[in-house]
Amino acid sequence: ALVMMSQDFKKGLPLIDGHGNFGSIEGDGAAAMRYTEARLQKITQEAYLADLDKDVVNFVPNFDETEKEPEVLPVRVPNLLVNGAEGIAVGMSTNIPTHNLGEVIDAVKAYIDNRLLTVEELMQYMPGPDFPTGGIIANKSDLLQIYETGAGKIKLRGKIEVELGRRKADRDKLVITEIPYTMVGAGINKFLMDVADLVETRKLTDVVDISNQSNKEGIRIVLELKKDADVNKIKAVLYKKTKLEDTYGVNMLAIDDGRPETMNLKQILNTFLEFQYRNMTKKYNVLLQKEMEKKEVQEGLIEACDVIDLIIAVLRGSKNMKDAKECLMTGNTEKIKFRVPGFEADAKKLHFTERQATAILEMRLYKLIGLEILALQKAYKETLRKIREYKHILSNQKNMDVVIKEDLDSIKAEFAEPRRTLIEDGE
């Protein structure tokens, strides 16, 4: 699982930053885990795990019940679309292609603005899958049906470029720079063998030599051609007879509320947004609660600073912490011996809450410096501002929409990358 999440040729958005040998696009396995190191990618921390401490998702016991783990991560982007999914379970399987992060975010924002958008209108923002290996989707006209039904077949092709010989002695070359997503792994070697077979059986008479010059920079499979070779014919043969053109079966089956369901694009976006609203409501309720507690303490400290002589008199006349706390909360002065007369009547009027009394008893003397008191008042104003902001967000769904869109915009600005896969209706 860790290796898969770090491979940029498998995932549209790798979530793990792997150091060491994590396998290659040509199907080499990763090194044993003792030879590798890994850490989270920046986007994983910011968009996948950031709100875990805000009590937004349920925590359940882990496999041996020694710890708690989140039931689901509070993801702020539709990971199901961005990274796709593939897997087989009991009598069912799922195969969801990867998509472009920026396009998915645009589609979510458009859907927030108008819930009545059709799948076709949403596809103006997110025209189709975007595979990490690039390549070409050759059946653009079938995509609408796939996104409306959640199932169908995508025709994938590799990208072929023609390099003409610079000098007379040089041969023209066909260079494959991008491969279909389905060819990742052992598929590249299989392709080389298939082309060699086609040359041997004289179905590709114009190819003289084939070599795999791929490296860390990317894929580069070179076919050297005879003079005056028919490039279009060779391309057609490669697409027809090898895995350079392949089908990718889409089956957008996801588990929603514990039930497996084949979902179309609108259902996926809708479920994602419902999840966001639940999370945001929990998150801002937790934040609001924290600020309300902070406000209570700050009000107590500000009040205490105004009557600090009285409080010092109460503390000096108390035998223990319990008596002092009781006096601060209820004004009960029976167990307090005042050294200076005149304070007792004022002490009977004290009525701090328990939280405030605890904060006052723990307050350090340096907090009485003029600048510290000013800082306390400034912090109190900031707390009031945050309370107003959180109540405003929680007051209705439109305000929440604004926050979700701002959030998505900041993620898009930092992490979105240009589209890699070309979409067309190929011949």
Active site residues: 35
Contact 51, 275 (CB under 8 A): no
Q: Which residue has the tokens 């990274």?
A: 83
Tokens of 288: 């609001």
> 141 by DSSP, 3-state: which?
helix
SS3 letters for 288-326? HHHHHHHHHHHHHHHHHHHCHHHHHHHHHHCCCHHHHHH
Strand-pair partners of 139: 425
Is the separation of the CB atoms in 317 and 336 below 8 Å? Answer: yes
Give me the helix-helix angle, 354-362 and 321-330, nearest 10°.
130
- Residue 118 CA, chain-centre distance (Å), reads 25
Whether the Cβ atoms of residue 231 and residue 225 lie closer than 8 Å to each other: yes
Measuring CA to CA, which residue among 80, 246, 102, 83 is closest to residue 150? 80
Which residues sit opposite 423 in a β-bridge? 137
Strands across the sheet with 422-423, in order?
Answer: 85-88, 93-96, 245-251, 151-157, 136-137, 422-423
Using N-to-C axis directions, what is the helix angle for 308-317 and 321-330, rounded to 10°?
Answer: 140
Q: Are 237 and 198 in contact (CB under 8 A)?
A: yes
